[in-house]
Structures are given as C-alpha cells and as structure tokens.
Amino acid sequence: MDPARLDEPSTDFRAPFDESGLLAAPRRVWTPRPKFQDRRWLHALLLLLTIGTTTIAGAGHYESFVTDLLQRPLVLSSSQLLVRGLWYSVTVLAILGCHELGHYLACRYYDVDASLPFFLPMPFIALTGTMGAFIRIREPIPSKRMLFDIGIAGPIAGFLVTVPALFLGVSMSRIIPEVSRLPPGAIGYQFGDPLLMKVMERLIWGNPPDGYTLNLHPVGFAAWFGMLATALNLFPIGQLDGGHISYAVLGRRSTLVTLGTIVVALSLGYFVASSWIVWTGLMVTLLLLFGRSLRHPRTFDEDVSLDRTRLWLAAFAVAMFVLCFTPAPIEPMQLLR
C-alpha cells in the first residue's frame, strides 16, 4: 500500500457584496476534494489485461499438470488449454482481489480516501502471470486503531479465500512418480511448501510412497502463490501490511523490528535461497521509494496501546505468516537432463 498523502483543499470566493449592496471583502471558502474518485476505465483495463496474462500462465500450469510435468504427450488443443487456464486465473485473481478489497472496504468504513485495486499484469514471465495488486491510500491514516484495521483487513480477507482454494487444489491434484529428467529445453522449478500446504497435503493424501510426489493442480498453485503473497505482505517492514500492524502494536519500537526483518531476509538470501535476494531488494526499494525512511509515518496516538481484541488479531496475523511462509519459495529444479 502506498504512503498516505494529504490533498490540498480547493478555494472559492463568495459574497462579493454585503447586504447593503456595498462591495465586501472576499472570504475564502475551503472545499475538500471529493473522496473515492477513480478512473474506473484504468482499473478495468488492468484487470482485463491481468485476466489475460494469468490465463496464459494458467494454461502452462495446466499443461504441466495433465502431462505429469511434461512426461506424457498433450492431447488438448491450444484453445482447450487456454480455457483450462481459467482454473488458475480465476483462483489467483479471487485471492488477490479479496485481499485488496479487504483494505479498500476498511478504508471506506473509516472514510479514508483510497483507490480501487490496481491489478498488475506480467506478460513476459509465464510463472505467475501477475505481479499482484495494490490500492493507493490518498490521505494520512490518523489513528493506530484505524491503521491496524485497514492493514489487517487485507491479509484476513485473502486468507479466507486461500484456505478453501488450497483444499480444492490439493484435492484435485494426484500422486505421480518423481520426475528425474525434463524434456530438452524445459525449465523446472521447485516450490517450497508452506506449513499450511504441508498440513493440507498430509490430511488429504497422507505420506506418498518413496519415489512418488504430488502433482499439484493449477488451483493449488494459485493458492500457493496466494500464500506467498500473504507472507510477503505480512513482513513487518514499512508500508507493507505487516509494517502497519507492527507499528500499530509497537509504536516507535517497530523501527527496530523493520531493521531486524531486513537482516533476516538478507540472511535467507545468502544462506537458504537466492530468490530471497530479489524479494528483499524489492521490499527495501519500495520502503525507500514510497516511505523515504525506515520509520513508519506517525499517528497522533502513537503511544496509546491497542485494545485486547486487536492484540489477538495481531497474534492471528503472526499465525497467518507462520502458516504461509516458506524459507525457499522458488528454486530451479536439480534434475538430470
């Protein structure tokens, strides 16, 4: 979510003459700009483009699924494959859309000016088909209570869609022999399993026999991407959802949490998975570009503690992060060629 910005009110001049008909001194009337004004055509265009790119990406995931990771011939035409790509597209857009609508509706509730969701298509990388979605908050959020509610509404809304999507996706998956060789020119990736996915796989499929693995349905992959997006958003850094929640709970001490989180993420990139270098670089760039500081923008009640209910919700946010986090999200597959 972008940093808040206060719009300048407009001015007008009224009553140039007084009641006696004499010229009166003009007085300035402050008229605030209307809120929740959007170029809806732009939001609709970005959504349509993202539907297209995620459907193309979903077609690739479905091809990998029905051919058991390209080990069997494909019997579907291109048009049939594209239709099957909607399995992934509809699911991932539902997860991302509900996440951002959670923020947006919370802003509407508190009358904090915000934009409709911007969906971000990614046409040149077929893995996800999208870079996610975001809303823009156009004015400062005055209190910690409002900041907390707006910050946590998105992850909870997205998580409530992710869990049933994950159950459906894992149920539609199947057990196949492990792949030891990819076709020439094919690129394979290993996806780290978040704790929630491991639990779901164990509940539905138990322990696969040695030499077998789960071939994940595109709906399951969309849920996996939703969990990754949730975990990244819940990092307690700057203007991310986790940064809002951390500041609302800890106040000024949240700056130390931000610094510690950046160190942990860099350590993950060095010791665990190189992909974390990319994620960390992106998060720090957004932090400096939009926040211009490691400190979260202040609220007027910075030293006031949150109520018990919101503290429990903060604990639930930590639980969501633990369930959705994986130390090695994406790594190239180490297979014989």
Asked if pLDDT for residue 273 goes beyond 70, the answer is: no
Residue 144 or 302, more confident: 144
Asked if pLDDT for residue 46 goes beyond 60, the answer is: yes
Asked if pLDDT for residue 4 goes beyond 60, the answer is: no
For the chain, give the mean pLDDT: 84
pLDDT at residue 98 in the model: 97
Instruction: Classify residue 234 by burial, with Cβ atoms within 10 Å: 0-12, 13-18, 19+.
Output: buried
Asked if pLDDT for residue 2 goes beyond 90, the answer is: no
Give the whole-angstrom CA distance, residue 173 versus residue 169: 6
Q: Which band of pLDDT confidence, cut at 50, 70 and 90, is reported for residue 18?
A: low
Tens of pLDDT, residues 238-258: 788 999 999 999 988 888 888
Q: Kindly state the helix (H) or strand (E) to which residue 82 belongs, with its residue range.
A: helix 78-84
Q: Please give the share of the chain, as a percent, with pLDDT higher than 90.
A: 52
Residue 152 or 3, more confident: 152
Report yes or no: 335 and 182 within 8 Å, Cβ to Cβ: yes
Tens of pLDDT, residues 61-102: 999 899 987 778 888 888 999 999 999 999 999 999 999 999
Mean pLDDT of 176-199: 77
Tens of pLDDT, residues 107-143: 999 999 999 999 999 876 668 899 899 999 999 999 9
Give the whole-angstrom CA distance, residue 71 versus residue 105: 46
Tens of pLDDT, residues 304-324: 899 999 999 999 999 999 999
Report yes or no: 177 and 212 within 8 Å, Cβ to Cβ: yes
pLDDT at residue 277 in the model: 73
pLDDT at residue 321 in the model: 96
DSSP alpha helices (H): ranges in 216-307? 218-233, 241-250, 254-271, 275-286
**Per-residue DSSP letter, 130:** E
Tokens of 295: 């400190």
Q: Please give the share of the chain, as a percent, with pLDDT higher than 70.
A: 80
Residue among 134, 321, 116 nearest 235 (CA): 321
Would you list the domain boundaries of the chain? 33-332
Residue 330 or 261, more confident: 261
pLDDT at residue 333 in the model: 60
Report yes or no: 209 and 176 within 8 Å, Cβ to Cβ: no
pLDDT at residue 5 in the model: 40
pLDDT at residue 261 in the model: 84
pLDDT at residue 104 in the model: 96
Tokens of 259: 């610094």
Strands (DSSP E) contained in the chain are: 10-14, 27-31, 118-121, 130-134, 174-177, 189-191, 212-215, 330-332
Report yes or no: 193 and 330 within 8 Å, Cβ to Cβ: no
